Amino acid sequence: MRRLRRPDTEAAEDADERTVRTAALALLAGREFAREELRDRLLRRGYPEPLVTSAIEQLVSERLVSDERFTEELIRQRSMRGQGPLRIRLELRERNVADGVVDEALASAGIDWGERAHAVRRRRFGAKPPADFRERAKQARFLQYRGFSADQVRVALGDGEEFEQ
C-alpha cells in the first residue's frame, strides 16, 4: 500500500485548494473523520487555515464528511468492542463532535446498553453471577471503566438481593 508523503512546510504553505482537497480525500479514503478532527490533521500537516476551512466546507456540502455518519460508525465500532455510552460520549467529545449529534446518535443506535453491559460482564467473568460483595464490586468497577452507567451496571450484575441481610 502506497502512503502519501507528508508535505514539507514550504510546500504546504504554497498549496492550493486542490492540493488540500486531495490530502483530505486521501485521509478520508482510510476511514471516516469528524469535521474538526480532519481540520486538525490538515493543519498539522502545515496547510493554510483558510484553504483547509474552504476544502472541508466543500467536502461537507458534498456529504463526503459527516459528523453524523462518523458518530454512528464510532458508536457501532466501540459498542461491539464492549464499551459503554459514557466512554463513547467522552471519545466523541474529545474529537469535537457536537453534543447534540452525539445524543441523537446514541438514542437512535438501537442498543440495549444494559444487555450490552451484561454481555461484556459474561464475556470477562463468566456466566455465574458474582459470589460476594467483593466480586460484585470488582465487576462493577470493570463495567464502569468500560463506560457503562450505574443503572446499566446494576442490570448487568442483577439486582443483588442475594447479598442483602
From residue 17, how far is each of 54, 56, 80 by CA, in Å?
A: 8, 10, 38
The larger pLDDT score, comparing residue 7 to residue 107, is at 107
Q: What is the pLDDT of residue 155?
A: 94
Q: Predicted confidence band at 9 (pLDDT cuts at 50, 70, 90)?
A: low
pLDDT at 15: 74
Instruction: Tell whether the model's pLDDT for residue 10 goes beyond 70.
Output: no
Given this chain, do its domains 9-61 and 67-108 carry the same CATH topology? yes
Residues 6+ apart with CB under 8 A from 127: none
Q: Is the pTM of this model over 0.85?
A: no
Tens digit of pLDDT for each residue in 23-67?
999 999 999 999 999 999 999 999 999 999 999 999 999 999 999
CATH topology of domain 67-108: Arc Repressor Mutant, subunit A (1.10.10)
CATH 3.30.70 fits 9-61, yes or no: no
The domain limits of the chain are: 9-61, 67-108, 113-163
Which three cell numbers, joined as nine digits, stand for 5? 508523503
* Assigned CATH class of 113-163: mainly alpha
Contact criterion met (CB below 8 Å) for 34 and 67: yes
Q: Quick: pLDDT tens for 61-84.
A: 999 999 999 999 999 999 999 999
The yes-or-no verdict on residue 2 having pLDDT over 70 is no
The single-letter DSSP state of residue 128 is S
Q: Is the dihedral of CA 35, 36, 42, 43 positive or negative?
A: positive
Q: Between residues 97 and 3, which one has the greater pLDDT?
A: 97
